[in-house]
Amino acid sequence: MINTLTSKALQGDQRSIAKLITIVENDTSDATDAMKQIHPHTGNAHVIGITGVMGCGKSTLIYELTKKYRKQGKTVGIIAIDPTSPFSGGALLGDRIRMMELAMDEGVFIRSMGTRGMLGGLTSSVYDVVEIMDASGKDIVLVETVGVGQAEVDIIKISDTTIVVVVPGLGDSIQTLKAGIMEIADIYVVNKADRQGVEQTVAEVQSLVEIECSNKERKTPIIETIAKESKHIDTLVETIDEHKQFLKETKKLEQQRRNRYESELVEIIRKKLMSYVFNEEKFKETIEDLLQKIRSKEIDPHTASELILKKIMKT
């Protein structure tokens, strides 16, 4: 069954792609089999990560980018990630709202995902979904995350090109934005460039670029767009292409991909390990027991973890 699904997905069948994504998200035993068959077919798609705070117009930007790529005859996969509630485990995935008509184009596939991860970052399944879209023949894979939690910084690990979107007049100056987010950009987009304060925002980003790129080969470009009026999207597409070329020529693409696989490996191992330790029947009693002992101060958490690891090594 899984083999049929995978081969159909590789041929671009939507239903199969969708079902395969569900399988890797739920991390069933089929997931490993599926990814075994998928992975060899990856490497073609240009993976573009787009992040920025709520209200910066990411979804509109993605909509416009997708339209442009479709005009160029390229097929597009879109992964829209929203945070999973750490309390309920549920998620409200609302990014599709702006893209509903887009999905009627058979060259566009949109999937909404919750972060589902304990740490709020991108789980290993996002990597898998990127691979599935890549392997199924998409030329471009756009990954969108909202600017909360760790996900926005994690996106650099997955993407070939990371775009950070800001808007003028957010109330916060760029300086106060979450540490790390501004440093991950391969391209800065100042969207809603018709708003008041755009010059100041661009200036702030520019001074950041000056500092960040003072001894780097490439100065991060800053593109002003008005996504809802489809303005300057062409420039953005060109800039993304230039970055892709840059990555190829400087062989940085390989480095990037290596980083991606390393992060993915870490995530998969972490997930599998955690699942093993906390869900396997044979460990449950041990864990409960150790937790009691930690509580009553008989043992400390570090010693407890060593005991667990020893037990794993033995199995």
Partner 1 sequence: MINMERKIRILIAKPGLDGHDRGAKIVARALRDAGMEVIYTGLHQTPAMIVEAAIQEDVDVIGLSLLSGAHMTLFVDVADMLKEKGMEDVLLLGGGIIPEADIPKLHEKGIAGVFGPGTTTEDIVEFVKKNVK
Partner 2 sequence: MFEKETIDKIKKNKEDWEKEIYEPLINKHPERKKDFENLSAIKIDKLYTPLDIKNDNYPEDIGFPGSYPFLRGIHSTMHRGRLWTMRQFAGFGSAEETNQRYKYLLEHGETGLSVAFDYPTLYGYDSDHPLARGEFGKCGVAISSLKDMELLFKDIPIDDVTTSMTINGPAAIVWAFYIANAENRGISKGLIGGTIQNDILKEYIAQKSYIFPPEPSMRLIVDTFEYGFKHVPRWNTISISGYHIREAGSTAVQELAFTLGDGLEYVRAAMKRGLDIDKFAPRLSFFFNAHNDLFEEIAKYRAARRIWAREMKKLGAKKERSLLMRFHTQTAGCSLSAQQPEINIVRVTIQALAAVLGGTQSLHTNSMDEALALPSEKAVRIALRTQQIIAEESGVTHTIDPLGGSYYVEWLTDKMEEETYRYFDRVEKLGGVIPAIEKGFFQREIAEAAYKYQKEIDGHTRTIVGVNEYKTDEPVDIPILKMDEKGESRQIKRLNDLRKNRDQRKLDTLLEKLRKAAEGDENLMPFILDCVHQYATLGEICQVFRDVYGEYREPSLY
- When the beta carbons of 97 and 179 are compared against partner 2, the nearer one is 97
The binding track of 266-285 with respect to partner 1, each residue x by CB under 8 A or -, is --------xx--xx------
Q: Which stretch binds partner 1 (CB under 8 A): 42-50, 86-94, 226-234, 255-263?
A: 86-94
Q: Which stretch binds partner 1 (CB under 8 A): 25-33, 62-70, 166-174, 190-198?
A: 25-33
Report if residue 240 touches partner 1, rule: CB under 8 A: no
Report if residue 92 touches partner 2, rule: CB under 8 A: yes
Q: Answer yes or no: are the C-beta atoms of 82 and 197 closer than 8 Å.
A: no
User: Which residue in the set 15, 22, 32, 55 belongs to the binding site for partner 2 (CB under 8 A)?
Assistant: 55
From edge to edge, which strands make up the β-sheet containing 140-146?
A: 108-114, 76-82, 140-146, 46-52, 161-166, 187-190, 222-224
Q: In angstroms, what is the minimal distance from the CB of 309 to partner 1? A: 17
- Side chain identity, residue 20: L
Q: What is the DSSP string of 112-145?
A: EEE---TTSS--HHHHHHHHHHHHTT-SEEEEEE
- Side chain identity, residue 183: E
Beta-bridged to residue 161, according to DSSP, are 48
The dihedral of CA 232, 220, 122, 21: what is its sign? positive
Report if residue 59 touches partner 2, rule: CB under 8 A: yes
CA separation for the pair 197, 175 (Å, rounded): 15
Binding footprint of partner 1, residue count (CB under 8 A): 37
Q: In angstroms, what is the minimal distance from the CB of 55 to partner 2? A: 5
Tell me the three state secondary structure of residue 26.
coil
Q: Kindly calculate the radius of gyration of the chain based on its CA atoms and give it in whole angstroms.
A: 21
Report if residue 118 touches partner 1, rule: CB under 8 A: yes
Report if residue 100 touches partner 1, rule: CB under 8 A: yes
Note the residues at the interface with partner 1 (CB under 8 A).
Answer: 14-15, 17-19, 21-22, 25-27, 84-85, 88-94, 96-98, 100-101, 103-104, 109-112, 114, 116, 118, 274-275, 278-279
Residues binding partner 2 (CB under 8 A) = 54-55, 59-60, 92, 94-95, 97-98, 169, 196
